[in-house]
Amino acid sequence: MGNFYKKTVRDVELRGKRVLLRADYNVPINDGKIADDYRLRQSLLTIDYILKQSPEQLVIISHLGRPKSAADKECSLFPVAKRLADLLGQKVDFMPECVGQKTSDELRSLPPGRISLLENLRFHPEEEKNDKDFAKEIVETTAADVFVQDGFGVVHRAHASTEAITHLLPSVAGLLLETEVETINKVMNSPERPLTAVIGGAKISDKIDVLNRFLEIADCVAIGGALANNFLHVQKFDTGQSLVEPETYAIAKEVIAKARRIERERQFNFIIPVDVVVSTDASGRARTRIVDLAAHTVADIEAYPKKPQARAYTLLAGEKIFDIGPISAGVIAGAVSLSKTVIWSGPLGVAETHGIAGAAAPFGHGTKLVVDAMISSSNSHANKPFSVVGGGDTVSYVENQGLVQDFDHVSTGGSASLELMAGNKLPGVEALENK
């Protein structure tokens, strides 16, 4: 680290101060228990640093979900306070309201050095409106002396706790935010080459900005997931009833034309699936098969010595595309294995579907093959590319598979990481004090 242009917790005096920390604890909670505490664990580095500086008090604020009102108790941060206390090995005082006189009195009654977590900021609609008065109320309630922004997952939004509040307090970055911004900027601006970007997920509309950026800077861009269906459709391949975005067909055509032009101008590859895995049911309870859309390699081998039947390269009634096929996955995995830097955003199929009767995940084969290339590369550490994972669904996949430690950087920010990769400014970062 060292190129971050904003002040961090290392640049301000925290001893004896009331520190207000904005974290991103927007985590999945099932039946009152946290299903995935990755964001909590990633915030511990900043929390530990602050506590070692002997502050008067550390008050943490966050949001959770999209509550319709304060009565939406499924969005309460109370379970987060309990889990955070377990991770820290010390008590975390939970305040059932993030603003108001009662919360203010309770905070002031606590002994020095205590940690508090306030209730969900989004129980107040003023939070997402970037309301200055609401930001002022937070500051007055907590009597904070300094504000630390460490919620990378929210800094792409100008909210009261990301932008308005920085006008009221000395405002610096936490260590997680610093790491996120520096790592992503480095791989986007000065990566070790070859650089391969693997882009999956459901919608082109969510990825168009970052996709265009990768066309400009990467050595290889590989497409998968449901967003690939749009590229297949505009090239006249059969996509049946698969998920598509007709309103993005023109964009898909433009991206393909741009990619093919770049391939003629410099060393560059744009990979679109040539085979896919189809089924009639996304639940994984129906039979799957490979449809050989473009290469017809599998179709030719399976039909020999006859010509392939049309069903080998077209979808049958009721079938939809749920994964890239083995040939496409092998091509992408090969490109990954030859790379020095790999950025991955978006699963390449419906990888979260579980197999039945002990079978492997029916739509996770393509993602698994490509991931194996990212993290193992023939089991040689010298050949292993520097790997960065961004995007909420991708991070969830990596966590569910227990692979977080195998990647060099797994981002805590979904949309924020994509915005940064696309070269866009992040309001919650820009609002912090410059070095």
CATH number at residue 247: 3.40.50.1260
- Token code pair at residue 249: 């067909």
The overall pTM is greater than 0.75: yes
Could you tell me which residues are beta bridge partners of residue 58? 19, 115
Q: What percent of the chain has pLDDT over 90?
A: 84
What is the domain extent for residue 133? 9-176
Beta strand 276-279 with 320-324 is antiparallel
Range with lowest mean pLDDT among 8-12, 24-28, 368-372, 389-393 = 389-393
Q: Answer with the one of 129, 147, 176 that is the final residue of a domain.
A: 176
Q: Answer with the one of 153, 176, 199 that is the final residue of a domain.
A: 176
Please tell me the distance from the alpha carbon of residue 347 to that of residue 396, in angstroms, as a whole number.
10
305 and 172 in a common domain: no
| pLDDT score at 381 | 56
Burial class (CB in 10 A: 0-12, 13-18, 19+), 272: buried
Which residues contact residue 357 at a Cβ distance below 8 angstroms, ignoring those fewer than 6 apart? none
Mean pLDDT, the chain, whole residue set: 94
Please tell me the distance from the alpha carbon of residue 281 to that of residue 7, in angstroms, as a whole number.
51
Which runs of consecutive H residues, i.e. helices, occur in 338-391? Answer: 365-375
| pLDDT score at 2 | 58
Q: Answer with the one of 127, 143, 176 that is the final residue of a domain.
A: 176
Q: Are 301 and 275 in contact (CB under 8 A)?
A: no
The answer to whether residue 433 is domain-embedded is no
373 and 261 in a common domain: yes
Q: pLDDT tens digits for 54-91?
A: 999 999 999 999 998 888 989 999 999 999 999 999 99
Beta strand 171-173 with 220-223 is unpaired
Q: Is the pLDDT of residue 336 over 80?
A: yes
Helix (H) or strand (E) holding 303: helix 297-303
Distances (CA, A) of 353 to 116, 286, 344, 356, 390: 38, 12, 20, 10, 21
Q: Is the pLDDT of residue 383 over 80?
A: no
Helix (H) or strand (E) holding 421: helix 415-421
Residues present in the chain in total: 435
pLDDT average, residue stretch 333-342: 96
Q: pLDDT tens digits for 110-149?
A: 999 999 999 999 999 999 999 999 999 999 999 999 999 9
290 and 172 in a common domain: no
The answer to whether residue 350 is domain-embedded is yes
Please tell me the distance from the alpha carbon of residue 274 to that of residue 293, in angstroms, as a whole number.
5
The answer to whether residue 29 is domain-embedded is yes
pLDDT average, residue stretch 267-272: 97
98 and 13 in a common domain: yes
Please tell me the distance from the alpha carbon of residue 116 to that of residue 138, in angstroms, as a whole number.
14
Q: pLDDT tens digits for 237-251?
A: 999 999 999 999 999
Q: Is the pLDDT of residue 390 over 70?
A: yes
Range with lowest mean pLDDT among 169-178, 328-337, 399-408 = 399-408
139 and 16 in a common domain: yes
The answer to whether residue 2 is domain-embedded is no
166 and 232 in a common domain: no
The sheet carrying 341-345 orders its strands as 269-271, 220-223, 195-199, 341-345, 386-389, 409-410
| pLDDT score at 294 | 87
Q: Are 116 and 57 in contact (CB under 8 A)?
A: yes
166 and 62 in a common domain: yes
134 and 242 in a common domain: no
Q: Are 59 and 22 in contact (CB under 8 A)?
A: no
DSSP code, position 59: E
At 297, is the pLDDT very low, low, confident or very high (cuts 50, 70, 90)?
confident
DSSP sequence for 215-284:
HHH-SEEEE-STHHHHHHHHTT---TT----GGGHHHHHHHHHHHHHHHHHSS-EEE--S-EEEES-TTS
Highest mean pLDDT among 250-254, 308-312, 410-414: 250-254
The answer to whether residue 297 is domain-embedded is yes
How many domains in the chain? 2
The answer to whether residue 32 is domain-embedded is yes
The answer to whether residue 242 is domain-embedded is yes
386 and 332 in a common domain: yes
187 and 72 in a common domain: no
323 and 259 in a common domain: yes
| pLDDT score at 359 | 87
409 and 367 in a common domain: yes
- Dihedral (Cα; 284, 289, 295, 298), 10-degree rounding: 140
The answer to whether residue 435 is domain-embedded is no
